[in-house]
Chain A
């Protein structure tokens, strides 16, 4: 079993190295040389020279890749003139806000999604099942930012129940507890918007996986022993249905990063998404590259996590 973990770990590291190399390749191919990409908006010739030095751009290609890998490993993703700070710091600064939004949305999505998926599968063909399936299908088909817009238009603008955007209310001096509440109020609409989309995916996968598993022989055998239906569903069926569910749950970490831009744009949420948008519009290439690398790392880590979860859930995997 340890062997399996070690293998997966090595695989992930290899993948990350490949991503870094690919990113380097992208920069190489883009107009201008790598130093210019890394310098971004800075026109300072001295800075360019320094960069060329740091990234060994006068040496052979292999050396350059190696130097870039080393720099990334050290945490040096370059300096963003637009942000006025090292790229890594800029990312780190915006990270908490995105983590908060992502974390809340994913929790809603995973918990609600698995629950509703199991519920729908427990009564296939019923009106409950049809209702849940339709809701999840629609949630999966509506652009997340339009959904957000609708919620804002209805709940914030028309009814005024919740704030229309931002993470905090401007210009107020609040105590610590009030600040938490304030952020919480601002968190509701964006996390519901994003959470609904993510939940739809989980519902679909869970329901399909459960229906598949519920046809298996051991489920009937368990019922044949008089095990209560709830127990059959949760303890017997769900455990075996978890494999594709884990796949989609970990995949959503990647989806979240991709979609975050759109959600943060609609709600003016000050996270990595808005940072990305700013970088795109201001041609802040070092930050762009940094964000690409960062999100790829997160996705790779999520996949690894998923594989480890498989092991925990399905004992047969441990022995491959």
Chain B
């Protein structure tokens, strides 16, 4: 049985403008110890998906209208707030995007770590402090013992993110959700943080959902990739398979927009940008949401209904009427 099974998750926000369908039918599964990269541009719903799994979306105004997430067979969306508080920490750990604002500025690092430890584990104050130092050393924070007494604003962005990671893994969760963990950091630090996450994951046998808008990051770290667009998953495959044979026009565009990495053959001479903008998710039409920006969109199934997610090859799913392999064979037929 997979560790995490997200099935047809739909999270809608009731705002003054209407019902915003931020997550609209997302499904994927995650095996123990593996990493899923959840990719997409900002606003596509990847963060809301993560928050929905952890039960952190503010309800109201949000509501998980259908579907859910099974963690080790347990339906998370059916749990009460109290029960969720026991799940978060020991079973699910979260690393948030902005280390500058994700730590309480009025409490010391030590206070925040020990609080988490003593909340879920039965430790004395002294034991908790010792564990806290160990955790900080695990995340490779120099002068770990001194850091306990520091307040967050004294540390740099990279150091704060390490603290966040320490907090997330403190209770040895089975699942780690990292939402753009390196985006807000310097380029030089980004790689370090990603390496750290990967090492920790392997060490502790955690499964990880890595949320990012950066395909380069995903290529390094993820076993499987799910591409999200406008609240839906539009393609899902093993990482190598996806990079070698992208099917969905959006995925192709994302990869085309990637600056050439060393040793790779350049697809374009310039950085390709994707023209247009994502659709407004308040009452979207029942059609392919990428169609307005898709170079291959045709009158048939593209504007009449939402294309279903289908398995175009074993282990490779795509939500499109014009996946690359079908386009190629069409061209060949002409």
Contact = CB atoms under 8 A, between A and B. Distances in A.
A236 B116 CA distance: 13
B268 to A, nearest CB: 37
A218 interface: yes
B124 interface: no
B102 A226 contact: no
Contacts of B54: 224
B325 interface: no
Interface in B80-103: 81, 84-90, 93-94, 96, 98, 101-103
A228 interface: yes
B104 A222 contact: yes
A316 interface: yes
Interface residues of A, dominant DSSP: helix
A224 B94 contact: yes
Interface residues of B, number: 32
A125 B59 CA distance: 12
Contact of A226 (B96, B106, B120): B120
Interface in A293-320: 313-316, 319
Interface string A216-233: 111011111111110100
A157 B105 CA distance: 53
Contacts of A227: 85, 89, 115-116, 119
A239 interface: yes
Q: Which among A222, A313, A314 has the highest number of chain B CB atoms within 10 Å?
A: A222
Interface string A154-168: 000000000000000
Nearest to A224: B94
A12 interface: no
Interface residues of A, number: 24
A23 interface: no
B202 interface: no
B46 to A, nearest CB: 16
Given A226-B89, A227-B119, A221 B102 contact: yes
Q: Which among A216, A224, A228, A239 has the highest number of chain B CB atoms within 10 Å?
A: A224
A215 B230 CA distance: 25
Given A220-B96, A316-B151, A225 B102 contact: no
Nearest to A221: B102
A122 interface: no
7 contacts: A221-B96, A223-B56, A225-B93, A226-B85, A235-B107, A235-B115, A314-B105
